[in-house]
Amino acid sequence: MGQLKGKVAVVTGASKGIGANIAEHLGAEGASVVVNYASSKAGADAVVKRITDKGGKAIAVQADVSKQKDIARLFEETKKAFGKLDVLVNNAGIYEFLPLENVTTEHFHKLFDLNVLGLLLTTQEAVKFIGNGGGSIINIGSVAGSMPVRTGAVYSATKAAVDAVTIALSKELGPKKIRVNSLNPGMVETEGVRSAGIAESDFRKMVESNTPLGRIAQPDDISGAAVFFASDAAGWVTGQTLLVAGGMTS
């Protein structure tokens, strides 16, 4: 408890799933947390309440991080509330698989505009608010970036791009003492996975059979790694892509 005391963190797409869990873990470790959401105000408010009920500090801020004006407002609200920024978790993203014959320009741009361009523009703005002491950028990628699957050409391409962006920005932002790392989960049991029917599917069974630890992840499995990357304990770690997938490598 307290390894992030005094730090301010923005978590994008934090109204549910992995983002919500990461926000709560950062808050539990003492960070003041900005819970970003695009449309689910109720979900974001619930995350804020869970953080503040445990004595933490948090606010919810609406912003579509595929839109530059919204991104600028997100960080202005962060500065207004907490005065600075130390940690950015680029979690917002779209998960959508389509077979090749159904891929359209619209589908391509929907995924790339948020998963890649949105991440870049959010990071670009965040850097303006991180002080001389440096900070930590944590990109949420996916094992799909290095282990693409059938019908996932566009989605996997966005996550492979996130890995490339992570390494490039770690080199560019290192002189500013800003670390950039990527967390790449395998299948995680979230609301989205359950509502899509994947949680009880044969696909889940196949993933589990290929995972040395024999199960899919829970959100807590991802959040512990995010806390590490955000903390001073990872002060000499940058440009890394960490597979958080129970040992699955192919």
Active-site annotation, residues: 155
Q: Which two tokens stand for residue 203?
A: 């696909």
Say how far apart CA 18 and CA 219 lie, in whole Å: 5
Using alpha carbons only, what angle is made at residue 41 by residues 37 and 45, rounded to the nearest 5 degrees?
Answer: 95
* DSSP 8-state class, residue 51: H
| Cβ–Cβ < 8 Å for 207, 187 | yes
State whether residue 54 is helix, strand or coil. coil
Dihedral sign from CA coordinates of 11, 12, 15, 18:
negative
Say how far apart CA 20 and CA 36 lie, in whole Å: 9
Radius of gyration for the alpha carbons in the chain, expressed in angstroms and rounded:
17
The region, left, alpha or beta by phi > 0 then psi within -120 to 50, assigned to residue 247 is left
